[in-house]
Amino acid sequence: MTGGHEQREPALMSTDLYDVVHRRRDVRGQFNGAPIPADVLDRVLGAAHAAPSVGLSQPWDFVLVRDPALRGAFHDHVRTERDTFAATLDADRAAAFARIKIDGVLESTLSVVVTYDPGRGGPAVLGRHAIADAGLYSVCLAIQNLWLAATAEGLGVGWVSFYREPFVRELLGVPAGIRPVAWLCLGPVTHLESVPDLERHGWRRRAPLADAVHHDRW
């Protein structure tokens, strides 16, 4: 890139929205375990907490998991679930899957577990009477804000999906009725890859935007 961009900050620390959106990756293998300054963590969580929410219910919580014993137990659980998934694949897909690291639970600085409380803002949550999942959607909007802010700060985020909700609920003492939505690995990284891991390792390619756009009718 040349021309009018000389005065930009270094790419890794740019806070330009579009830079961040397109540079953001789901990180598994690039965590370096370095500490996260308190003010950085505050800004990242503050961005999550500034997300829109149905009826202004802000139904999210953030559990910051640093305890190595808790993270080790979760990592063991993830390995088991990984094997369960691998067993469902044919040989080609299993070979592609074997190349992909699926979590950075132990290498990242900490984990952020995001939960959903359907009772918050009740009993009548404005906008949720017709769509039961609307509160869950709000939690996901907060997660994306967190992810982008982390990227802007030079941190990586890895969303671990290979777990069972009841396991996490018990591990972290999540009360009945409150749902774990995401286990996010968070921390400084050596770099962000320019191509998603699943594409680099031959699992799946990204589709063009045009495939997803319709006019007036689906």
> Binding to a second copy (CB under 8 A): which residues in 162-201?
162-165, 172-175, 178, 181-182, 196, 198-199
Which of 33, 10, 8 lies closest to 156 in space, CA to CA?
Answer: 33
Determine contact, residues 134/198, Cβ cutoff 8 Å: no
Least separation in angstroms between residue 107's CB and a second copy is 19
Q: Which range in 30-38, 97-105, 186-194 contacts a second copy by CB under 8 A?
A: 97-105
Q: Indicate whether 126 belongs to the interface with a second copy (CB under 8 A).
A: yes
Nearest distance in Å: CB 154, a second copy: 12
Q: Alpha-carbon Rg of the chain, whole angstroms?
A: 19
Site for a second copy in 20-39 (CB under 8 A): 20-22, 24, 26
HSE value, Cβ hemisphere, 13 Å, CA-based, for 76? 7
Please, which residues bridge with residue 61 across strands? Answer: 115
Residue from 11, 12, 13, 17 binding a second copy (CB under 8 A): 17
Our finding on whether 76 is near a second copy (CB under 8 A) is: no
Over the window 141 to 160, marking each residue x when it contacts a second copy by CB under 8 A and - when it does not, the resulting string is x-xxx-xxx--x------x-
**In whole angstroms, how close is the CB of 36 to a second copy at the nearest point?**
14
Residues 106-125 that bind a second copy (CB under 8 A): 115, 121, 124
Q: What does each C-alpha distance from 210 to 116, 159, 207, 213 come to in angstroms?
A: 33, 27, 8, 5
Burial class (CB in 10 A: 0-12, 13-18, 19+), 185: buried
Q: Minimal distance in Å, beta carbon 190 to a second copy? A: 20
Q: For residues 179 and 182, give the distance between their C-alpha atoms in angstroms, rounded to a whole number.
A: 9
Greatest alpha-carbon span in the chain: 57
Structure tokens at 194: 């320019």
User: Residue 198, Cβ neighbours under 10 Å: how many?
Assistant: 15
- Quick check: 61 binds a second copy (CB under 8 A)? yes
Smaller CB distance to a second copy: residue 22 or 191?
Answer: 22
Q: Is residue 216 near a second copy by the rule CB under 8 A? A: yes
Smallest distance, a second copy to C-beta of residue 25, A: 8
User: Which of 1, 38, 176, 209 is the binder for a second copy (CB under 8 A)?
Assistant: 209
